[in-house]
Structure 1
Amino acid sequence: MILPIVAYGEPVLRKVGKNITSDYPKLEELLANMWETMYNAHGVGLAAPQIGLPIRLFLVDTSPFSDDEDLTSEQQKALKDFKKVFINAKIEAETGDEWDFNEGCLSIPDIREDVKRKPEITITYLDENFKEHTETYDGLLARVIQHEYDHIEGVLFTDKLSSLKKRLLKSRLDKISKGKIDVDYRMRFPNIKKGR
């Protein structure tokens, strides 16, 4: 089932997610719905807060990035084959010199900005079978994971912009929170006036 994605301004996007256990109600169904929702919106990642759940869960499928001709064939293959569920994730380390990459977010449609992030991360997480993993990623894989991880920490990519850039985006962000935007996927807006 395709779920509505909550828009910028929704309080759940600012909450630090809670860990979940393997007996979380209807987890398998939730994951199936999240994959369907993400693919419907043409995303490469989706975090539970983006569908209104303040829990530490996100999923990533970087295959759309694998067509980038600037990447080596090894990088393309890594991106094409990367599809994972991250539960109760914790980034253990972020290393290297920060680099800019143009990011967007399904909760903040039609706004894309360059964001600085460190190129390599080590992350511990549980998969959908609650098996623990500690893995290191770099480049675009790290970038997508960092973006989704921020969601379970109550952080949005716009928080990482300069104060000037934030001021320039303020009216556009306000419009998004009021639903004054055209999107081709289901969304829930926090500041739509009732009775319109």
Structure 2
Amino acid sequence: MPNLSYLIATKRQDTQIKSYAILCGVLLLAFGIFFYTKWQEYSTINTFVDKNKAYISALKEQGSNEKALFDSKKDAINQLKAEIETNLTEVFPISDSYTELTRKFDTFEQKLVNKDSIFEISNIEYQNVAKRDNYSILPLRMSIRSSKDNFEKFLHYIETSGSLSDRVRLMDVSSVRLNFEKSNDLSGKKEEIINFSVQINAYFQ
């Protein structure tokens, strides 16, 4: 019969082996969990990197396409820019440009005047320039003899000035004085004639 010391030693050895096996199992499980977690992190990061690469590639392609589109429209854009600058120079000139303004009034007068409807500019008096912080004003007074219809067209011309598409110098009416008379046209029909003196402000830079 084995002695007691041998049995105790054997049992202790078995216990140690079991404990070691359990510890190894725990370590293997912990390592497995750690490895799985790190692998998940790596997989997530790798997926994120791949998505970023795809996104960056898409952005580069979009940028390349937009640049190609811009280059194809560049000439048209430059032409439009030059046209806007030219129109702006006419609408809001860098100087009083009263000679050009007089020419514009002459052109407008020629468009309105005809045998059935009168429009005559008899006088244009330019006054002293008034300077402001960001712009200047060229005041002027005009004496005009006109039919009622052409008088309304003239007021509309001033009211809609400043449009880049129409290229009409920016102006406004500060005062109007009216006198009315009757006149017979060629058909014998009486036409109302307006003699008016109008004070206008023409703007420039």
TM-score (norm 1): 0.23
Higher relative contact order (CA 8 A, sep 6+): 1
- Which structure is higher in helix share? 2
Which structure is larger by alpha-carbon Rg, 1 or 2?
Answer: 2
TM-score, length basis structure 2: 0.23
